[in-house]
Amino acid sequence: MPNPDDSKVQVLDAHAGYELVASDEWLWCFDRRTYGPGIAAAVSGGVAGIVGINALVFLLAALGGSPLGPWPIVVVESALVLIAGAVCSFSLRLRQRRSAQPRAELRPLLQVDRRAAMVLDGQGRPLAPLAQAAAGRGMQMGSSAPALFVYLPGRSRLRVFRGSLFGGGIDRARSALGRIGFQVR
C-alpha cells in the first residue's frame, strides 16, 4: 500500500479536519479530529474575552471611585480569564498538532483499493465492492452541518466528510467520490 503522504498523492478535498486524498491506486478518507479542539478553543476564547472585559470594567470603575461590586468579583473573574485562556491555548495547540500530523500516522476512516475496486475499512478489511458503494449527503446528530456518508450494502452509513454551513459544503467531496467510482446519491 502506498504512503498517503507521498508527493504523488492528491488532496481531493479537505474541510473541518476531514480529508479525501487519492493516488492512482488508493483513496483514503481521514478525520484529523480537529473539530472538538476547535470548538473548545472558540468557546473558551470567547469566555476569556467577555469575562476579561467585564473584569476590566469592574477594575476601572473601582479605581475611579465608583465600584460596581465587591473586589472578590474582580479576583474571581481574573481567575476565570486565566483558566479559560489556558483551555483555549491548550485546545489550539492540540488542534495544530493534529493538523500537522502525517497522514501515515492516522487511521483512515475508509480506504479504497482502486485497482481491485474494493472498499476497505480503516484496518484494511474488505467491506464491499466499489460498484456496490454509494456516496451521499446526510445529516449528523447534534449538528446542522451537512455530512458526506458512504453507504454500503447491508450496513449502516459511514461519515467520511463534514461540511459547514459557513465555510463550505460537501459537493466537491461528493463529486470526487463519484469520479473514483462510488454511486452518487
Question: Which DSSP helix (H) or strand (E) runs through 27?
Answer: strand 26-31
Q: Where are the domains of the chain?
A: 10-32+101-184, 37-100
Specify the pLDDT at position 25: 94
pLDDT digits (tens, 9 = 90+) for 19-70: 999 999 999 999 999 989 999 999 999 999 999 999 999 888 888 888 887 8
CB 133 within 8 A of CB 114: no
Specify the pLDDT at position 151: 95
Residue 155 has pLDDT above 80, yes or no: no
- DSSP labels for 93-157? HHHHHHHHS-GGGSPPSEEEETTTTEEEETTS-EEEEGGG-EEEEEEPTT--SEEEEEE-TTS--
CB 110 within 8 A of CB 149: no
